[in-house]
Chains A and B, each alone.
Chain A
């Protein structure tokens, strides 16, 4: 079946450190891939997305590249800030006639000053 696997957290980094959060997926067909971010007590916000192989999504200094050969969509940022502290979710949109999302379990990022 379709699934998303994320690295477990929490991930604790110092300000200005490099961030990688791993995400791999299993899917039939050609899914679209997403990264969402959730700040404490809030709903999810789209961070970036990619709809086909080799596409790179980017936003607010975050990047992720859709790698079909390794079925991965790892999230990276060159220099994190305290304000980036949040839970990050990787998700895929399955094929067919619907826009259903399948989420990973989320990765908590804590950035220390």
Chain B
């Protein structure tokens, strides 16, 4: 079955620690995205990538980093510089063209200890 997987489902971060969230897709999509979801708010774009080895900052990139070494994978690192990391993180992918549907993974919930 084609789709997007995210792991882990829950992640705990200690103060000053970097953590990495995994996102893998087998839909053969060029574009991938990371969103952050907070209670009562819509999704906000953190980073996106339209092609391997290239990515751009979204609206709230500070304190996060990404890489895109393979078409299938787009991991997100939440660094210690992100002072309020507790949120639900969603990864998505799509065909690159405007107006195409984005397909979402099941999400990772990050909690700070």
Question: Residues of A with Cβ closer than 8 Å to B?
Answer: 4, 32, 34, 36, 41-46, 49, 51, 89, 93-101, 103-106
Contact = CB atoms under 8 A, between A and B. Distances in A.
A95 B95 CA distance: 15
B40 A93 contact: no
B95 to A, nearest CB: 8
Given A97-B50, A99-B96, 19 more contacts: A34-B101, A42-B107, A43-B6, A44-B92, A49-B99, A49-B101, A51-B99, A89-B43, A93-B99, A95-B98, A97-B98, A98-B50, A98-B96, A99-B97, A100-B33, A100-B45, A101-B102, A103-B44, A104-B42
A93 B41 contact: no
Interface core residue of A34, A43, A93 (most chain B CB under 10 Å):
A43
Contacts of A45: 104
A57 B58 CA distance: 28
Contacts of A42: 106-107
A51 B31 CA distance: 19
Interface string B74-113: 0000000000000000101011111111111111000000
B48 interface: yes
Contact of A106 (B42, B48, B58, B103): B42
A98 B107 CA distance: 23
